[in-house]
Structure 1
Amino acid sequence: MGKFLLLLALFISKIAFSQVSDNFNDGDFTQNPVWQADVFTNFIVNSGQLQSNSTTASSNFYISTPNTKASNCTWEFEINLKFATSGSNYVDVYLISNTANLKSTSINGYFVRMGDTPDEISLYKRSGAASTS
């Protein structure tokens, strides 16, 4: 399984007025909230969990949902990587961005990277093509 981009602005706390919250108990990601993906078949919902379903090695894919009130909030998510991370095999979870298309070269936002060469969990800022931790 290759690196992939994935937006999971899930389980926003009640204190933040729950702008986006999805526990996937409805068995899909097509409503409440509506998620957008570059290729929907790259994702499945299994036992209330969103899971990647891509069979293409070293691929990039994403799923995202709009959130217009993402200031003063908390992000909580669970990640279970069932592959060895490396410099070319990691996960970026975007917390916020200026576009739903996470493959865009003009994206501005913040993401958490899990994996990479030092097996890190780090917060990054992305401005266009440049990312800094």
Structure 2
Amino acid sequence: MAEKIAKKLNINEKTVVECKEFEVIEGNLDNSLWIMHINNEFKIVLDVEEYMKLMETMKNVMKENFELKLEKAILSEFPVDYDDVKAVVLEEMKRDENASISEILNKVKLEHPNLFYNLDLEKIF
């Protein structure tokens, strides 16, 4: 059973513990979250489904956070067409996964200046 759950969760290394004797100090065993006291440390134990929901929520939050940062970075550079710039930036990010958004955006701006408005503020003011 543990192998099946680990595979479902995409976990390679796991520790399986079988608790044969334990004492419920507070609450009841039907809760989906347990706080266990082991060797003077507190551990959180979740139902598999609760864990899956938590991971999915975290994944969605991280994706939304990334998209907002990307949007802010692109818009701060005054793109001619936001969607075109976003597509080029995302392609560059696939090639260099370790680069930051600003590094990739600077590279795209240098290689594709036609995607951005050239605002020469010296001439404006």
Greater relative contact order (CA < 8 Å, ≥ 6 in sequence) = 1
TM-score range, shorter chain: under 0.3
Q: Which has the larger radius of gyration?
A: 2
- With normalisation by structure 2, the TM-score equals 0.19
* Higher helix proportion: 2
- Structure 1 or 2: larger strand share? 1
The TM-score normalised by the length of structure 1 is: 0.18
